[in-house]
Amino acid sequence: MLDKLVYLDNAATTRLDERVLEAMKPYFFDVYAVATSEFGYSAGIEARETLDKVREILANALGASHEEFIFTSGSTESSNIALKGVALALGEKKGKHFIVSKIEDFPVLHSAKALERQGFRVTYLDVDSDGFVDLGQLGESITDETILVSIQHANQEIGTIQDIETIGRICREKGVLFHTDATHTFTRVPLDVRKVPVDLITVSANTIHGPSSIGGLYIRKGTPVAKWIDGGFQEFDLRAGIENIPGAVGFAKAVELVTLEENERLQAMRDHLIDRVLAEIPSTTLNGHRWKRIPQNANITFHLVEGESITLHLDMRGFAVSTGSACFSRSLEASHVIRGIGGDHERAHGSVRFTFGRYNTLQDVDAVVETVAEVVRELRNISPLGKDYEHEENYK
């Protein structure tokens, strides 16, 4: 067994970069006042100035101005504020219809379901076999009642990048707000609000080697979002709660540390894994588009084997990955993403997601490819679906 874990589940969360921790430290021990105390004592002014400075960095990373960016506790909260905030602001005034894609991550999908229980109507857009939303269906689904379209920038499981520029244009033409969950693309795939007509963007620090439990929401100036986390007047009176200044500082540092070279390095690992697995392991299918995918994601179905068995065997050999198999999830439900792209339960069952980060190397990729090949071979050897599989009715 390896003594070092090769962590390939960077879409779930990432290891914190030491430089991020160093940047955060003073705000735990020296400047720990709340920013709203700026009129009480000088430490508050320093907190306020720090928060303003890092807010500027985050907003700039999206091409936005600082008053268009609020800090939240992470992606989940950001998407909740976007959907439910717009519902509260426009539900009575304009209409009660939302449009989301079928393969959104749970913060958007389950916010939509929660709104349905409150009397809103939701259209779940189909996606094609690569995971792209049907743009024709999007256009046709928008009505006078529609208040928000929420379609992710890239998918959390299969990595497919949507054409959000076109989606944004369709929404703009029809006068409908557009939210995108950019949790898995922020700083990895260019997104500039001066070019893309998008009104709300969800981002998070934990996917880019920043701290957990800090995220943000871009809100284009003038976008009607009602406040529903009540308390003080923080975050332009849109989200109450004391500011997480160490978190915000860490988030900004994490953004500054991502470089173009790093994204190219991640993409090289992705392509190396996909090319080797598809060439060397029989009966494998790539999930998601081959090229229009985020640089850090590869998702492959190993047919005739079950994903939890693969992940457990890999874990015992020192590799951390994840799977869309029903057996892996607490809900015992197979991945809604793989089923959304037209895959059956079998395809979801054997799907494994490899996601790369700053601390992975090409050697890690070679090691995991060789190990997964061995594991899949062993599991296929004990599978009744192999070679001359007979179905139950044949000998009943």
Partner 1 sequence: MKFPYSEKVLEHFRHPRNVGKIENPDGKAVEGSPACGDMVAVYIKVDPETRRITDVKFESYGCASNIATGSIITELAKGKTIDEAKKVTWKQASEALGGLPPIKVHCSVLAVEGLRSAIQNYEERQGLVKDREPTTVEVVRKRLKKVINPVSGLNLVHTNLVKNIEVKDGIVRVVIDLPANHQFASAIKEEIADKIEHLWDVKKLEVEFTE
Query: Up-side HSE of residue 347: CA atoms within 13 Å toward CB?
Result: 17
Pick one of 92, 230, 261, 390: the residue that binds partner 1 (CB under 8 A): 390
C-alpha 285/C-alpha 299 separation (Å) is 9
CA distances 206 to 80, 184, 275, Å, are 18, 10, 28
For residue 122, state whether it binds partner 1 (rule: CB under 8 A): no
The reply to whether 306 sits near partner 1 by the rule CB under 8 A is yes
Look up tokens 């091409």; give the residue: 63
Residues 199-258 that bind partner 1 (CB under 8 A): none
Six-digit token pair at 215?
A: 């995220």
For partner 1, the closer CB: 125 or 334: 334
Complex with partner 1: residue 78 or 351, whichever CB lies closer: 351
Q: Quote the least distance from Cβ 92 to partner 1, whole Å.
A: 28
Taking contact as CB under 8 A, which single stretch among the options 9-17, 131-139, 169-177, 345-353 is the one that binds partner 1? 345-353
Say how far apart CA 82 and CA 95 lie, in whole Å: 16
Q: What is the four-CA torsion angle of 221, 225, 229, 230, rounded to 10 degrees?
A: 80
Instruction: Look up residue 48 and give its two tokens.
Output: 């306020």
**How many Cα atoms within 13 Å fall on the side-chain side of residue 295?**
22
Choice between 240 and 326, CB closer to partner 1: 326
Among 334, 337, 341, 372, binds partner 1 (CB under 8 A): 334
Q: Is residue 327 flagged as an active site residue?
A: yes
Nearer to partner 1, 94 or 380 (CB): 380
- Residue closest to 313 by CA, chosen among 352, 287, 284: 352
3-state secondary structure of 204: strand
Q: Which of 45, 88, 312, 373 lies at the binding interface for partner 1 (CB under 8 A)?
A: 312
Q: Is 392 in the site for partner 1 (CB under 8 A)?
A: yes
* Binding pattern for the stretch 41-80 against partner 1, x by CB under 8 A and - elsewhere: ----------------------------------------
Q: Is 346 in the site for partner 1 (CB under 8 A)?
A: yes
Segment (H or E) for 297: strand 297-302
Please identify which of the residues 122, 135, 226, 327 carries the catalytic annotation. Answer: 327
Rounded Cα distance between 107 and 84, Å, is: 11
Total of chain residues touching partner 1, rule CB under 8 A: 34
Q: What is the DSSP letter of 66?
A: G
Task: Tell me the three state secondary structure of residue 208.
Answer: helix
Does 117 participate in binding partner 1 (rule CB under 8 A)?
no
User: In the complex with partner 1, which residue's Cβ is closer, 116 or 192?
Assistant: 116
Residues making contact with partner 1 (CB under 8 A): 1, 304-306, 308-309, 312-313, 315-316, 325-328, 330, 332-334, 344-346, 349, 381-386, 390-393, 395-396
- Enumerate the active-site residues: 327
